[in-house]
Chain A
Amino acid sequence: MISPATGKGNGTGPVIVVNDLKKRYGDLQAVDGVSFEVKRGEVFGMLGPNGAGKTTTVEILEGLRKADSGMAHVDGIDVSRDPAAVKQITGVQLQTSAFFDHLKLTELIELYGKLYRRDVDAMKVLETVELTEKARSYYKPLSGGQKQRLSIAVGLVNDPVVLFLDEPTTGLDPQSRRHMWDLIKKIRSGGTTVVLTTHYMEEAEELCDRVAVMDRGRIVAIDSPDNLVDALLKTGFRNERKPRQATLEDVFINLTGHSLREG
C-alpha cells in the first residue's frame, strides 16, 4: 500500500472520529451504533449493500442530517454542534444532486466558490477534472461522466480537508470509471482525505487504503482491503474460480481503449 501523504487540516490525529452514531427513520434503524476513525490523507471506503446505512452515515458527517445520538467529529469540529463549520472545510459529491442550468460551468464553479467564501480560478478547477473544453457549456447537456466530474470539481472549490464521494462511479462506463479512479488518486496525492461509498469491490481494492463494511446499520468489518482478504483466507475460504492474470474488464478496455467517450 502507498503510505498516505501528509493530510490537510488541523493536527495529525484522525481527521474523522465517529463514536456510537445512531439514526432512526420511523421503524428503520438506519445507523445502529457506528464507530470508526478516518486517518488524515487516506482514501477510506464505505462498503455495503443498499440500505446498509452508508449514505446516512456520510450525510451525517456532511452536516446534511442530524444524528439521533452518538458523536461525529470532522477535523476536530463536532458536526452536530457546528454543521456550518464542517461544511466549510469539506467537499461533497452527492448521489442524487444536480446543479443550476443556464449557468456556464465556469460561472457555476465561481458561484459555488463564493458560497464557500472563496475566489476560485474556475478554469484551474475544471482542469483538475479535465472539463476545460466544456467550460462554456451549461450543466444539462453534459454526459453522465462529465456531470459526475463537475460535481467533484464543485466539491473541490474550497480546497477541502475531507472530500466525500457518494457512489462516484455508479452508472459510468469502464473508461469513465477508470478516469474517475485516476482523478481520485490525484486528489488524494494532493493531501485531501477522501471518504467514498461504493458497490464495486474492485473499486474499493483499487482506491481505498482502508474500508469499512456496513450491514444493517452496523460496521461488520474495518481494515485495509489486503488484510480483510487475508483474514478471510485464514478461515480456509477459497474462491472456486481460478484467479487469472486479466479480467473481462481488461479485455474491454484493451479492445475499446482508455479514452473517454463523451459527447
Chain B
Amino acid sequence: MRIYLALITASLKMYFRDRTALFWSLFFPVLIMVIFGLMNFDRFSPPEAGVVDGADNQASQALTAALGGAGGQKLLDVETGSRQEMLDKLTKGDIDAVIEIPAGFGTPGQISTVSVAYDSRKPQERGIVSSVLEGTLEGVFQQVAQVPEQYRVESRFQVTQAEVEGKGQGYKGFLVPGIAAMAIMQGGLFGVVFTLVAYKTRGILRRLRAAPIAPSHVLTGQIVTRLAVSMLQTYVLLTVGIIVLGVTIGENIGSWLSLSAFAVLGGALFISIGLVISGWAKNEDTAAPVANVISLPMMFLSGVFFPTSVMPDWVQTVSQFLPLTYLADGLRAVALDGASLTSQWAPLVGLGAWTVAMFALAARLFRWE
C-alpha cells in the first residue's frame, strides 16, 4: 500500500510540474472550447421549427412547405410531429419554435388561429420565425384559398404567440461537454503513451524493474494519476463553460457526481487504449502516429464539435459505437438535460465494454522494454 501511495503521489507531482502536460491537457482544450464557443455557430443555420398540422389539408401542407422555403432558399428547418412531441423538443432546445395549424385551416369564411410557441431563450430565432410565418401565411392564403386580393389577409387568420421556457443551450451547450469528452480522450491516450513510452526508451522502467516491486505498482500509479487528470479536466472545462460561455450545467450535486462517473469511466477507457499502444510500441516514433490515427477520426466522427446528425447515415451508424461517442453522449445528457446515471445505461455499457476489452488487450501486450 505504501508503495502504491508513493508512486501515485510521485506521478501526480510530476504531472503538475510538467508544463507541457498541463498545457496540452488543460489549457489547450479550454482554448479550443472558448474559441469555438465564441464563434457561435447557431447564427449560421436557419431556425428550426416544429409544425403540428391539425388540419392536414391542402392549405396546411402548402403552408408547411412554404415555411421550409418550398424548394427555394431555405427559410426554416421544418419538421412535423404531434403537439406533445414538438413541445418536448422545444423544451429540450432541439427546435426553436412550434407552429400549430388548427383544424379546418384555410376554409373560406373562417378565421384560422395559428398558434406559435417560442423558446424564451431565443429572441433572435423568434423574430425570424415570426416574420417568416407572416410572410408565408399571406402567400398561402392568396394562392391556395384563392382569396380575392381586395380582402385583407388579416381578416382570414390570426396568430397567437406563446413562450415556452426552453432548456436548450444551443451550440455552446453542445460544445462544452463535447470538448470535455475530447480532452479526456486526448489526456488519457497521449498522457499515458508519451509518459510510458518515454519511461521505456529512457530506461526509467528498467531501473524500476530492478527494485523489488511489481509492474502493477508502476501502472497503478500511472492510472490513478490519469484518472484524477480526467476528472480535473472535466471540472475545469465545464466551469469555464459556465463562466465564460454562459452554459448552465449540473443543476445539483448529483449531476456533478454523475459527470465524475463518466469522467472516470471515460478516462479508464482511453488510459487502457494508451496502455495498449505504449505496451506495444518500441518508441515515440511508432507510438505517436498510432495514437493520432485512433484519436483524430473520433474527434470528428463522435460529435465533439458538430452533431453527428449532419453526417451520412452509414457514418452515423459507425459513429454510435465509437468510444468517444459514448463518452460525449453520456456527458452531454448528464450535463445539459440533467439525466440520471441509470437513464444513461447505454453509453455506460458501451464505455464499460470498450474498457474491459482494451484493458485485457493491454495486459496481454504490455512489455517493460
A, B from the same assembly? yes
Interface residues of A (CB under 8 A from B): 62-64, 84-85, 87-88, 92, 94, 96-103, 107, 111-112, 114-117, 151, 154
Known: A99-B204, A114-B3. 17 other contacts (CB 8 A): A64-B206, A85-B212, A87-B212, A92-B207, A97-B207, A100-B10, A100-B14, A102-B13, A102-B14, A103-B10, A111-B7, A111-B10, A114-B2, A115-B7, A117-B2, A117-B3, A154-B207
Contacts of B209 on A, CB cut-off 8 Å?
64
Given that A84-B212, A115-B212, A117-B3 are known contacts, is A94 also in contact with B10, CB under 8 Å in the complex? no
Query: How distant is A116 from chain B, measured CB to nearest CB, in Å?
Result: 6
Contacts of B204 on A, CB cut-off 8 Å?
97-100
For B10, give its contact among A98, A107, A117 (CB under 8 Å): A107
The reply to whether B202 and A98 form a contact with Cβ atoms under 8 Å apart is yes
The reply to whether A94 and B203 form a contact with Cβ atoms under 8 Å apart is yes
The reply to whether A64 and B3 form a contact with Cβ atoms under 8 Å apart is no
Contacts of B6 on A, CB cut-off 8 Å?
111, 114-115
Contacts of B7 on A, CB cut-off 8 Å?
111, 115
For A98, give its contact among B18, B203, B212, B213 (CB under 8 Å): B203
Query: How distant is A197 from chain B, measured CB to nearest CB, in Å?
Result: 15
The reply to whether B210 and A94 form a contact with Cβ atoms under 8 Å apart is yes
Q: Tell me the B207-224 residues at the A interface (CB within 8 Å).
A: 207-213, 217
What are 5 A-B contacts defined by CB distance under 8 Å?
A87-B212, A96-B203, A99-B204, A115-B7, A117-B2
The reply to whether B13 and A63 form a contact with Cβ atoms under 8 Å apart is no
Query: How distant is B22 from chain A, measured CB to nearest CB, in Å?
Result: 11
Contacts of B210 on A, CB cut-off 8 Å?
62-64, 87, 92, 94, 97
Q: Mark B22-55, 1 if CB is under 8 A from A, else 0.
A: 0000000000000000000000000000000000
B152 in the interface (beta carbon within 8 A): no
Query: How distant is B26 from chain A, measured CB to nearest CB, in Å?
Result: 16
Task: State the majority secondary structure of interface residues on B.
Answer: helix
Query: How distant is A5 from chain B, measured CB to nearest CB, in Å?
Result: 25
Tell me the nearest residue of chain A to B195, going by C-beta: A100
The reply to whether A97 and B203 form a contact with Cβ atoms under 8 Å apart is yes
Name which of A96, A102, A103, A107 has the most chain B CB atoms within 10 A of its CB.
A102
Interface residues on B, range: 20 to 34
C-alpha spacing A115/B4, complex, angstroms: 9
C-alpha spacing A115/B202, complex, angstroms: 20
Query: How distant is A110 from chain B, measured CB to nearest CB, in Å?
Result: 8
The reply to whether B13 and A94 form a contact with Cβ atoms under 8 Å apart is no
Query: How distant is A114 from chain B, measured CB to nearest CB, in Å?
Result: 4
Given that A94-B207, A98-B202, A99-B207 are known contacts, is A115 also in contact with B14, CB under 8 Å in the complex? no
Contacts of A107 on B, CB cut-off 8 Å?
10, 13
C-alpha spacing A88/B17, complex, angstroms: 30
Query: How distant is B258 from chain A, measured CB to nearest CB, in Å?
Result: 33
Tell me the nearest residue of chain B to A113, going by C-beta: B6
The reply to whether B207 and A116 form a contact with Cβ atoms under 8 Å apart is no
Given that A102-B18, A117-B3 are known contacts, is A96 also in contact with B10, CB under 8 Å in the complex? no
C-alpha spacing A209/B202, complex, angstroms: 33
Q: Mark B335-364, 1 if CB is under 8 A from A, else 0.
A: 000000000000000000000000000000
Query: How distant is A64 from chain B, measured CB to nearest CB, in Å?
Result: 6
7 tightest A-B contacts by CB?
A97-B203, A114-B6, A87-B212, A97-B207, A102-B14, A102-B17, A98-B202
Contacts of B3 on A, CB cut-off 8 Å?
114-115, 117
Contacts of A94 on B, CB cut-off 8 Å?
203, 206-207, 210
The reply to whether A115 and B211 form a contact with Cβ atoms under 8 Å apart is yes
Contacts of A101 on B, CB cut-off 8 Å?
14, 18
Contacts of A117 on B, CB cut-off 8 Å?
2-3, 212
Contacts of B207 on A, CB cut-off 8 Å?
92, 94, 97-99, 151, 154
Contacts of A103 on B, CB cut-off 8 Å?
10, 13-14
Query: How distant is A178 from chain B, measured CB to nearest CB, in Å?
Result: 25
C-alpha spacing A111/B8, complex, angstroms: 10
Name which of A98, A103, A107, A117 has the most chain B CB atoms within 10 A of its CB.
A98
Contacts of B203 on A, CB cut-off 8 Å?
94, 96-98
C-alpha spacing A186/B17, complex, angstroms: 35
Contacts of A115 on B, CB cut-off 8 Å?
3, 6-7, 208, 211-213, 217
C-alpha spacing A101/B202, complex, angstroms: 11
The reply to whether B211 and A116 form a contact with Cβ atoms under 8 Å apart is yes
The reply to whether B211 and A96 form a contact with Cβ atoms under 8 Å apart is no
The reply to whether A116 and B212 form a contact with Cβ atoms under 8 Å apart is yes
C-alpha spacing A154/B211, complex, angstroms: 10
C-alpha spacing A107/B7, complex, angstroms: 11
The reply to whether A96 and B14 form a contact with Cβ atoms under 8 Å apart is no
C-alpha spacing A103/B7, complex, angstroms: 12
Tell me the nearest residue of chain B to A90, going by C-beta: B210
C-alpha spacing A53/B187, complex, angstroms: 42
Tell me the nearest residue of chain B to A95, going by C-beta: B203
C-alpha spacing A199/B17, complex, angstroms: 39
Given that A115-B212, A117-B3 are known contacts, is A97 also in contact with B206, CB under 8 Å in the complex? yes
